Amino acid sequence: MTHIARMLDSHPRPEAAIDQAALRECIEACFACAHSCSSCADACLAEAHLSHLVRCIRLNLDCADVCQATGSVLLRQTETDWAIVRAQLQACATACRACGAECQRHADDMGMQHCVLCAESCRQCADACDRLLAVLPA
């Protein structure tokens, strides 16, 4: 049982309206992606060919902020507003797709391991957002 699963499980009044597995996976994917993006931005700063990585760093920083906010909104289970959840999930999937594509380009071209891992986190998070969007209450 993951840390997030244990916290969700301890809530006195969990959101009955939502698939708990899809919710937990999306929260974990958001926080993992926020950490990957923050770490990838920092690793890019230490690369010799830094000038080719400006767009990657910018997208990393944006994607980290968006994933962190999305994970924080999803973690809350009290009096959820589903319109906010829906719009923030859409923004998160958008940010992860853009950042993941940029990281994948550098993973392919230059084989940088931090971009390989970050592209993977971005894909997993975008997919988890899409899966949660598909089962959100109206």
Binding site for its own copies (CB under 8 A): 3-4, 6-13, 31-32, 35-36, 38-43, 45-48, 50-51, 54-55, 57-59, 61-63, 65-66, 68-69, 72-73, 75-81, 83-84, 86-88, 90-91, 94-95, 98, 112-114, 116-117, 121
What is the total residue count of the chain? 138
Alpha-carbon gap, residue 115 to 104, rounded angstroms: 7
- Could you list the beta-strand ranges (E) of 34-101: none
Position 8: which residue type? L
Tokens 């550098």 belong to 106
Least distance CB 117 / its own copies (angstroms): 6
Least distance CB 88 / its own copies (angstroms): 5
